[in-house]
Amino acid sequence: MAAVTAVLDNGVPLADKGSAAATAAAAAHHSTPAPPASPPPLSPSALPTNVPAPEVSMVEASDFTGVTFTPELWMQRRSWALDVLRTEGARSIVDFGCGPGSLLQTAVIPPSTVPEKPIIGPNGDIPDGISLYTQRLAAVDVSAEVMTTAMSQLEPPGPNASGVLAPPRWAPMSTELWLGSIEHYNSRLEGYDSIVALEVIEHLEPNLLSRFGVVTLGTYRPRLLLLTTPNFDFNAKFPSSHSHDDENCDRRGFVDPTGRTDRVFRHSDHKCEMTGDEFRHWALAAADDWGYDVEIGGVGISSKPSYYPAKNGERPKPIYATHTAVFRRTTGIPMRSPRSVRTVELPFMIGVNEAAHPHRLVGRWYHPVTAVTQPGAPKPPAALREVVGSVFDALAQQQLSLDELWAYPEVSGASAGSKRHLVSALGGWGNCPPIPGSNSQFAVVVDHNGLAIKRN
């Protein structure tokens, strides 16, 4: 495994950050005071090498329950989170309970353009979708066993085994990985606009669950908090008996280890699984406490769907396998004070002993811009049409999808990484009006693959 490469956004190595020389080097790169020091990264040799396979939730053990999901349930949870982050315009994200990095794996992929608004049609359609422009990405997990895999997702990519380079990056991004538990405050995680916690709160002991809102909503105060957790109402989908004379009783579920209920949970480490009414009550109370609105929903309709009883003549609502909640910060003042979460001397201040840090830094990485912008870009319409025309000539085509055309570095480079500029230069479409000086040589159209460029 490669050694942890940890650098500041300005290129100063973190490994030497605690030294006087490194402090001076950092100060030379900044006109403002340097941020408080972080603990040195953990050595890779301190991380476990024999990592056991993760336990599969009962709901997802289709070979036993006969319940299947398409796509798989974990993929639906990740897709839901990414869709919300894109739609809400998230720029900095903390993934609490990141595990081996299923969300990180997608969040680190460079978007195909510079940060810009989506291209929206006259009817509000977005044929090429919305990109996720992540500037900062942090991940936290309490398990040392997942650190090596999560780290591999956050490190800057190199050529793969076939020598193929990663997609070009038009804007820099910083990533970091922490070993620690969610209930502990980490001053380095303040200032992120979005926090994600997929399948986390059900693993928290009751006393820790009570601190979840205090730390995430009350202390970090993100613009968005996204979370998912199992829906106990769905658990009727798999055998729930836990008879002692059944040799497979351990696969039929797990009795609530806290002793608070006689419920049988999906996973051996779950401490809480809420019904739909319980989750709604919990989420609304947390939102009220800390000055947030909350949108409650769900993902995961199985191959054998079930529905809640219809109420007031409405259509029955599906019983999802997973609760979802999106907390959006309002302008209201929180009803509670989170001051007790912060220590008198905040973590990572000079003079604080490393052993006192609630989180351990595994690594911090910088992903630089790798895309090449041509001199004078963005090119004016006439020059850009000439570049586009040469690609059409080389391919002997009359129509190309926008993505196909954008894949040519001479086109994206001449557009300075802006698809909006390219679309406007080629005649315009939707909320990308034509640039004065464009003509009818090309037209922007919509086909079954999204936006396309047609040569007239």
Place of tokens 């009359």: 398
Residue 373 lies in a domain: no
Residue where a domain terminates, one of 367, 400, 418: 367
Mean local confidence (pLDDT), 408-436? 95
Together in a domain, 278 and 420: no
**Considering the chain, what percentage of its residues have pLDDT values greater than 70?**
75
Alpha helices by DSSP H, listed for 52-111, are 62-65, 73-87, 102-107
Minimum mean pLDDT among 188-192, 242-246, 339-343, 441-445: which range?
242-246
- Give the model's pLDDT for residue 358: 77
Domain count, the chain: 3
Q: Measured between alpha carbons, how far is 208 from 184 in angstroms, rounded to an integer?
A: 10
Residue 163, pLDDT score: 62
CATH number at residue 340: 3.40.50.150
Same domain, 92 and 7: no
Mean pLDDT, residues 425-451 = 90
Which of 339, 367, 395 is the last residue in one of the domains?
367
185 pLDDT band, cuts 50/70/90, is: confident
Mean pLDDT of 406-410: 96
Given a contact cutoff of 8 angstroms between Cβ atoms, the answer to whether 76 and 299 are in contact is yes
Average pLDDT over residues 97-119: 96
Residue 194 and residue 143 share a domain: yes
pLDDT for 40: 66
Question: CA 11, 188, 46: angle at the middle one, nearest 5?
Answer: 75
> Considering the domain boundaries, does residue 167 fall inside one?
yes
* pLDDT value, residue 6: 37
Residue 158 has pLDDT above 90, yes or no: no
Same domain, yes or no: 227 and 125: yes
**Taking residues 258-286, what's their average pLDDT?**
91
Q: What is the mean pLDDT of residues 11-28?
A: 38
Does 376 fall in a domain?
Answer: no
For the chain, give percent helix, strand, coil, nearest 5.
Answer: 30, 20, 55
189 band by pLDDT with thresholds 50, 70 and 90: very high
Clarify whether residues 323 and 349 are in a common domain.
yes
- Same domain assignment for residues 230 and 304: yes
Q: Which domain holds residue 73?
A: 42-367
pLDDT of residue 160: 64
Q: Give the residue-averaged pLDDT of 320-331.
A: 94
How many Cα neighbours within 13 Å face the side chain of 302?
22
Q: Which residue has the higher pLDDT, 217 or 27?
A: 217
pLDDT at site 130: 96
Confidence at 54, pLDDT banded by 50, 70, 90: low
Most confidently modeled range among 2-6, 154-158, 405-409, 448-452:
405-409
Q: Tokens 């926090």 sit at which residue? A: 195
Q: Is residue 150 situated within a structural domain?
A: yes
Average pLDDT, the chain: 82
Asked if 415 and 379 touch (Cβ cutoff 8 Å), the reply is: yes
| Token couple for 42 | 């953990």
Q: Are residues 186 and 122 in the same domain?
A: yes
Other CB atoms within a 10 A radius of the CB of residue 435 amount to 17
Q: Are 206 and 305 contained in the same domain?
A: yes
Among 306, 336, 367, identify where a domain stops: 367
Mean pLDDT confidence for 304-309:
86
Task: Give the per-residue pLDDT at 71.
Answer: 92
Burial class (CB in 10 A: 0-12, 13-18, 19+), 455: middle
Stronger pLDDT, 246 or 122, i.e. the higher one: 122
Rounded mean pLDDT, 326-346? 65
Residue 56 — very low, low, confident or very high, per pLDDT cuts 50/70/90?
Answer: low
